[in-house]
Amino acid sequence: MKIHEYQARDLFKRFGIPTNDYKLVKNPDDAVNKSGNWKQVVIKAQVLAGGRGKAGGVKLA
């Protein structure tokens, strides 16, 4: 079964497995609006492929 990370987190939460807080966003403005008072965020592209970090799909902001 291939699922996105956010979908896996939802499954974990449903079965009581702890996960970090996250917000699903669609664009940079949405990210700014949803980040609230978080001091640091990690932005991850949601793709069904390995090597996301090496390809530039994970950024600290």
Note the pLDDT tens digit of each residue in 18-60.
998 888 888 888 888 888 888 888 888 887 777 777 777 788 7
Q: Are 41 and 31 in contact (CB under 8 A)?
A: yes
Residue 37 amino acid letter: N
Whole-prediction pTM: 0.64
pLDDT at residue 14 tops 90: yes
Looking at the 3D structure of the chain, how many domains does it have?
A: 1
Domain that holds residue 14: 5-60
> Which pLDDT does position 16 carry in this prediction?
97
Q: Which two tokens stand for residue 47?
A: 């793709």
pLDDT bin (cut points 50, 70, 90) of residue 12 is very high
Q: Are 57 and 47 in contact (CB under 8 A)?
A: yes
Residue by residue, DSSP assigns the chain as: ----HHHHHHHHHHTT---------SSHHHHHHH-TT-S--EEE---SSS-TTTTT-EEE-
